[in-house]
């Protein structure tokens, strides 16, 4: 089967799911799960790790799955309101999954192409931690510490960039 043929089938399936959602046959949360699984299935159907470009289907699949899980957990009747930090934790896990399932295995790619999902995963994890601290009331105790950590992180990244630049110039 050609990619065009597979793409046509996927568009028809997506259109049918969207129509069923608009008609109220498929409720919102189930639609999110179906859409996420559709993207993940498309990733697998098109060959998964066989081509680096297939990651374009895995990313929305894992992100939508994370959103669907959070929506399903938030919508449970009689359940306490979920900490919003869990939303960002789920998004962080979705990018970590993209790294573990796909980009990590491409050893012929450079560092940026292999390890890029780690950066949004780390940023979203930090954001989840900040939100969690702010909700728990411990935020003000750690606010001064966070100010210094950002400064230290900027200096550390600057030093790292200079060291890498010097090493590259010595090799050339």
Give the pLDDT confidence of 91-129 residue by residue, as tens digits: 999 999 999 999 888 888 888 888 999 999 999 999 998
Cα→Cα distances 19→23, 32, 128, Å: 6, 14, 35
Amino acid 92: pLDDT = 96
Judge whether residue 77 has pLDDT over 80.
no
Mean of pLDDT values over 139-143: 63
Tens of pLDDT, residues 1-49: 566 776 777 778 778 888 888 888 887 778 889 889 988 988 888 888 8
Q: For the residues of 18-38, what is the DSSP string, one character each? A: HHHHHTTSS-HHHHHHHHHHH
Rounded CA gap, 68 and 60, in Å?
Answer: 12
Contact in structure between 65 and 91 (CB atoms under 8 Å): no
Question: pTM value?
Answer: 0.71
Domain boundaries, given as residue ranges, for the chain: 3-136, 140-172
Rounded to whole angstroms, how far apart are CA atoms 91 and 85? 10
14 or 89: which leads in pLDDT: 89
Residue 147 in this model has a pLDDT that exceeds 90: no
pLDDT band at 59 (very low <50, low <70, confident <90, very high): very high
pLDDT for the residue numbered 74: 82
Count of positions (residues) in the chain: 172
């Amino acid at each position: 089967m050609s990619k065009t043929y597979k793409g046509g089938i996927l568009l028809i399936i997506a259109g049918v799911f969207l129509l069923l959602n608009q008609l109220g046959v498929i409720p919102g949360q189930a639609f999110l799960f179906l859409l996420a699984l559709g993207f993940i299935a498309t990733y697998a159907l098109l060959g998964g790790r066989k081509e680096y470009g297939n990651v374009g289907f895995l990313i929305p699949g894992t992100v939508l799955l994370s959103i669907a899980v959070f929506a399903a957990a938030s919508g449970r009747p009689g359940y306490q309101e979920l900490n919003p930090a869990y939303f960002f934790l789920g998004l962080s896990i979705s990018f970590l999954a993209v790294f573990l399932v796909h980009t990590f295995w491409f050893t012929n790619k450079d560092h940026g192409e292999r390890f890029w999902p780690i950066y949004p995963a780390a940023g979203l994890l930090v954001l989840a931690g900040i939100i969690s601290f702010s909700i728990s009331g411990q935020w003000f105790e750690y606010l001064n510490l966070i100010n210094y950590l950002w400064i230290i992180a900027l200096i550390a990244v600057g030093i790292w960039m200079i060291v890498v630049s010097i090493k590259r110039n010595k090799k050339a």
